[in-house]
Amino acid sequence: MKPTEFMQEKAIVDLIDGMATELKNRLQQSGIIDPVMIGIHTGGVWVAKQLHQTLEISEELGTLNISFYRDDFSRIGLNPQVEPSIIPFEVENRHIILVDDVLQTGRTIRAAMNEIFDFGRPASIILATLIEKDGRELPIVADVVGMKPTLKEGDYISLTGPSPLTLVMGKPS
Amino acid sequence: MTSPSISIINGRLIDPANNIDEVTDIHISQGEILAIGDKPSGFEATKIIDASDKVVCPGLVDLSARLREPGLEYKATIASETRAAAKAGITTLICPPDTDPVTDSPAVMELIRRKAKQSGYARVLCTAAISKKLEGKELSEMAELAEAGCVGVSNAYKPLGNTLIERRALEYASTFGIKVFLKAEDRHLRNNGCIHEGIIASRLGLPGFPEAAETVAVARDIALAESTGAALHFQRLSTAKSISKINRARHDGIDLSMDVAAHQLHLTEMDADGFNTACHVDPPLRTLRDREALRQAVAKGDIQAICSDHQPHEPDAKEHPFPDSEPGISALETLLPLTLKLVQEKVMSLPDALHRLTAGPAAIAGLPYGRLNAGSSADICIFDPEAHWILNEDNLLSQGKNTPFLNWEFTGQVTHTLFEGRITYSLDKES
Amino acid sequence: MMKGNRQTNSKGQLKHFLSIDGLTRDLLLEILDNAQNFTSLATQGRSVKKVPLLRGKTITNLFFENSTRTRTTFELAAKRLSADVLNLNISTSATSKGESLLDTLHNLEAMYCDMFVVRHASSGAAHFIAKHCAPHISVINAGDGSHSHPTQAMLDMLTIRQHKGDFTPLRVAIVGDILHSRVARSQILALNTLGVSEVRVIGPRTLLPYDARSLGVHVYHDLIAGISDVDVIIMLRLQKERMSGALLPSEAEYFNLYGLTEEKLQHAKDDVIVMHPGPINRGVEMDSAVADGKHSVILEQVSNGIAVRMAIMSMCLGAQQDIDMEVSA
């Protein structure tokens, strides 16, 4: 079945703006003044770019390629097409906002945190995700969520982009 | 035990030695051929073999077959290999001297002869060593070896120390009229080559065995044969250039003969591609051009004998990276099939092909075999020239299974072999 | 499994890495892309330069021929992937004492390792080992006789691509002892598979293989003519044995005829890159000015070596589950 368009760019931009506001409040409450941001390839980076700009974070945006940390490597092998990880700042003792597009099983976030810790020891990690789905397989919780849509069991949802940003959903073939 | 009286009837009798090619009968008694054609009066055959639609020819004479005994019984034995020879229609085998101990004394020759007689499948004769222990330094007791019945002397596939030693060895042998069997090879030029120095060697990065390593030696050996007057036989030639050199020398009156291994008439360096150790042979498989020249020389009769160059090995010998594997093919059972393939590929006629397996080698070795005269030893091969069969490990009788011809389809299969009037092989009795 | 090319499994994924021969252009490019990704690991500000990709796997270095350089590169690559490494230096005299290569292999398999990295003096040794080892083990050829050194060729290709981008218009010259060089044979195969415009080999007749053109190259005996207008020059190492083997008279004559100097480099393209598999014989293959000069990319080759080996090891061990592909999504 062809994937159907679920949400168009303007609505998504609004959603991300909402996330930015929530993040601002959170940071204020926790007294964090100088966070850094890391987006997870590929969709997380698109979301992070907008958040990074809106929140006016001084350090450059970091990007993470978690393919070397996946737990299903022996089943799916390497994917050479993804950009490598680039963290242009010291991780040690920083408060990190980790951004992804879809949170479901939690395995991607587990891999991302393992990789971040190989760069250094952060002071804290705040997880922001555009979409949250049911189906957690690990004890991972998002701190800031853009939207939690109601989906039928087995449906997938994914972010396409970078321009225009579109959320599509459908059944796996 | 008296040998039975046998009549082989209705077969196409091909005896190149006597120029016979006709459908006729042959009668055997007391281990000898009694008559060809009508049976003699008073002769009653106790066994009749109907050879309708089959070819009846002299038992094949193989100029070089290693039986590995004494010394290398883990590879093969005289019993196992002569049994395979019988299945292959071969009744006379000539064994090179690189046994262990080396065949440089009448005692070793006698041991081999006795073992062959015990098994009773075929006649085994020897080329004895030309140098003590085959070391290529000191002469062996050639006169005594000749007295003991060797067909000639050779240094197997090992080099002679230098040209002076070679000259002296040839002079000494020729004193007593002993034929010298040489493998022409300049070991310095060979430089550890294990495959023809050509495009396959270049691509696989394997040490190459250049054509010049054979042709330089051939030129040298021809010159020494000429100056010493020795009778020289070139074993296992592999290059077109060697053939033309030797032909020219023979034209000039020098006493030279040549043989070729059956596999050299079919395979080339391309077959060794992919590090195929089954095609690791010495001399190496060369180019298509060389193969064509060898075929032409065999067809014309410049090369008088096709031999098997039988070298059975234990499986481990070939289970190594190519340069570390041992060269050689287990070849008795493909000698006739590969020769018949030449006939099928219209390289030569059937009688000419059979000549290269019978009268030709017998003449080179100076033996009264490979022919069907009245009074000759009843060594006979009967084969069905139309039978299709496939060579595989199960029907390969030799102890060595090292052959690149496994799973090859052949046309022409031995149905009976007789040695000294006894049936030593019968296809329908095979279990 | 396909009989044709034993190096890839039925899905076309790399299982062994024995020779460039038979591998497709797409597969070579995939190796380069993966290797490029791994190069970033060494350059970033990571405190941990490892990734856990091959954690729990055991890689055994089976070196029948001594080589500290190559062995340490493979070891480093394996460790950066979090694999465990076993180093076995088996001199050939040990095997000649009775234990055949096959026996050595079977004894090692009892130790349950996942990959053999093999270096051996006989051409075809890596193929032989891949043919005979247990089905779950991957074999990587670290150099067999004069036949193949495919990981070296790939790191050379990566270096070329980093500087030149597209392979298609390139003219590449390989200079020196091609006859004995497994590196050169692999480079020629890789360059031709990747579709370069021209591969040239340059050397005296004694150091060129029989009918070198059959390898897919143009042959030159004159260095200047050979490097005219080329984009890449690869200098091969000259072994000392070549003088005693009557292949060359002296290093001095070799340097005069085939050694690279800044002056001679003028004949190549302005942006020519100079490569060498190492270690360099200064004053024989090239003078110090060239070795340390702006055209030389030799040090990059070394660091690319680790990334390339990481990529190849990961690809081979990543395709393991082909045997029972019951994928539960």
pLDDT value of residue A173: 63
pLDDT band, residue C5 (cuts 50/70/90): low
CB-based contact, A164 to chain C, within 8 Å = no
Q: Considering only A70-84, B335-349, C50-64, C277-291, which range has the smallest mean pLDDT? A: A70-84
Domains identified in chain C and CATH numbers = 25-147+303-324 (3.40.50.1370), 150-299 (3.40.50.1370)
How far apart are alpha carbons B249 and C157 in whole angstroms? 55
Q: Give the neighbor-by-neighbor strand order of the sheet with C138-144.
A: C84-89, C58-63, C115-120, C138-144
* Shortest CA gap C53–chain A (Å): 6
pLDDT band, residue C323 (cuts 50/70/90): very low
Burial tier of C107 (Cβ tally within 10 Å: 0-12, 13-18, 19+): exposed
Cβ <8 Å between C45 and A172: no
CB-based contact, A11 to chain C, within 8 Å = no
Cβ <8 Å between C101 and B324: yes
pLDDT value of residue C40: 80
Angle between helices C25-43 and C150-164 (to 10 degrees): 80
pLDDT value of residue A84: 83
pLDDT value of residue C97: 55
A71 → chain C, closest CA residue: C53
Cβ <8 Å between C13 and A73: no
Cβ <8 Å between B204 and C147: yes
Summarize the confidence of residues A88-106 as an average pLDDT. Answer: 95
Range of the domain at A30: 9-71+86-150
Tokens of B67: 């039986």
Cβ <8 Å between A73 and C51: no
Q: Give the rounded percent of residues in chain A with a pLDDT score beyond 70.
A: 99
Domains held by chain A: number: 1
Q: Is pLDDT larger for residue B428 or for residue A49?
A: A49
Report CA torsion sign: B157, B159, B165, B171: positive
Q: Give the rounded percent of residues in chain B with a pLDDT score beyond 90.
A: 97
Secondary structure of residue A134 in the 3-state scheme: coil
pLDDT band, residue C4 (cuts 50/70/90): very low
C150, C186 Cβ separation under 8 angstroms:
yes
pLDDT value of residue C49: 77
C180, C153 Cβ separation under 8 angstroms:
no
Three-state SS for chain B is CCCCCEEEEEEEEEEHHHCEEEEEEEEEECCEEEEECCCCCCCCCCEEEECCCCEEEECEEECCECCCCCCCCCCCCHHHHHHHHHHCCEEEEEECCCCCCCCCCHHHHHHHHHHHHHHCCCEEEEEEECEHHHCCCCECCHHHHHHCCCCEEECCCCCCCCHHHHHHHHHHHHHCCCCEEECCCCHHHHCCCCEECCHHHHHHCCCEECHHHHHHHHHHHHHHHHHHCCCEEECCCCCHHHHHHHHHHHHCCCCEEEEEEHHHHCCCHHHHCCCCHHHCCCCCCCCHHHHHHHHHHHHHCCCCEEECCECCCCHHHHCCCHHHCCCCECCHHHHHHHHHHHHHCCCCCHHHHHHCCCHHHHHHHCCCCCCCCCCCECCEEEEEEEEEEECCCCCCCCCCCCCCCCCCEEEEEEEEEEECCEEEEEHHHCC
pLDDT value of residue A82: 74
What does pLDDT average to in each consecutive run of 10 residues of chain B (431 residues)?
83 97 96 94 93 98 97 96 98 97 96 96 97 96 96 95 95 96 96 96 96 97 95 97 97 95 98 96 97 98 98 95 97 98 98 98 97 96 97 96 97 97 89 46
Query: Structure pTM?
Result: 0.89
With contact defined as 3+ CB pairs under 8 Å, the chains touching B are C
Please indicate whether chains C and A are in contact, defined as at least 3 beta carbon pairs under 8 Å: yes
In this structure, the number of other CB atoms found within 10 A of the CB of residue B393 comes to 9
Cβ <8 Å between C315 and A77: yes
Secondary structure of residue A60 in the 3-state scheme: coil
* Test the C interface: residue of A36, A73, A107 with most C CBs within 10 Å: A73
Count helices and strands (H / E) in chain C. 13, 9
Q: Is pLDDT larger for residue A77 or for residue C60?
A: C60
Supply the residues of B annotated as catalytic: 309
Question: Which residues of chain A neighbour C311 with C-beta distances below 8 Å?
Answer: 78
Partners of C9 in beta bridges: none
pLDDT value of residue C98: 62
Q: Is pLDDT larger for residue A42 or for residue C12?
A: A42
pLDDT band, residue C324 (cuts 50/70/90): very low
Closest by CA to C188, choosing from C145, C231, C148, C226, is C148
- pLDDT mean across residues, chain C: 89
Closest CB to C123 among B198, B210, B322: B322
pLDDT over 50 at C322, yes or no = no
How far apart are alpha carbons C200 and C231 in whole angstroms? 11
* Test the A interface: residue of C14, C44, C138, C312 with most A CBs within 10 Å: C44
Q: Is residue A13 a part of any domain in this protein?
A: yes
Cβ <8 Å between B319 and C123: no
Looking up residue A103, the CATH number of its domain turns out to be: 3.40.50.2020
**For residue range A13-40, what is the model confidence (pLDDT) as tens digits?**
999 999 999 999 999 999 999 999 999 9
Tokens of B339: 């020769």
Closest CB to A75 among C45, C47, C327: C327
How far apart are alpha carbons B341 and B348 in whole angstroms? 10
Q: Is residue A165 a part of any domain in this protein?
A: no
Rounded to the nearest 5°, which phi and psi values hold at A150? Answer: -90, 120
Cβ <8 Å between A86 and C40: yes
SS3 content of chain A, % helix, strand, coil (to 5): 30, 25, 45
CB-based contact, B323 to chain C, within 8 Å = yes
A39, A101 Cβ separation under 8 angstroms:
no
C9, C132 Cβ separation under 8 angstroms:
no
With contact defined as 3+ CB pairs under 8 Å, the chains touching C are A, B
pLDDT value of residue B31: 95
Q: Considering only A4-13, C137-146, C176-185, C268-277, which range has the smallest mean pLDDT? A: A4-13
Closest CB to C125 among B199, B274, B321: B321
For chain C, what is the radius of gyration of the CA atoms?
A: 20
With tokens 């190459």, the residue in question is B208
CB pairs under 8 A between B and C: 70
How far apart are alpha carbons C136 and B365 in whole angstroms? 55
Domain ranges of chain B: 6-56+377-429, 59-365
* Shortest CA gap C142–chain B (Å): 15
Q: Is residue A159 a part of any domain in this protein?
A: no
- Please enumerate residues of C whose Cβ is less than 8 A from a Cβ of B: 100-102, 120, 122-125, 127-128, 132, 144-148, 182, 185, 209-212, 214-215
How far apart are alpha carbons A67 and A50 in whole angstroms? 24
Q: Is residue A58 a part of any domain in this protein?
A: yes
* Shortest CA gap C189–chain A (Å): 23
pLDDT value of residue A169: 87
Q: Is residue A140 a part of any domain in this protein?
A: yes
- B:236-275 residues touching chain C, CB 8 A cutoff: 274-275
Options 2.40.160.10, 3.40.1190.20, 3.40.50.80, 3.20.20.140; CATH of B59-365: 3.20.20.140
pLDDT over 90 at C75, yes or no = yes
pLDDT over 50 at C327, yes or no = no
pLDDT over 60 at C41, yes or no = yes
Tokens of C325: 């592909």
* Test the B interface: residue of C6, C118, C210, C213 with most B CBs within 10 Å: C210
ipTM of the complex: 0.88
* Shortest CA gap A104–chain C (Å): 14
Q: Which CATH homologous superfamily contains domain B6-56+377-429? A: Urease, subunit C, domain 1 (2.30.40.10)
How far apart are alpha carbons A64 and A119 in whole angstroms? 11
pLDDT value of residue C10: 79
**For residue range A98-134, what is the model confidence (pLDDT) as tens digits?**
999 999 999 999 999 999 998 899 999 999 999 999 9
Amino acid, single-letter form, for residue C100 = S
CB-based contact, A66 to chain C, within 8 Å = no
Q: Is residue A161 a part of any domain in this protein?
A: no
Cβ <8 Å between B321 and C210: no
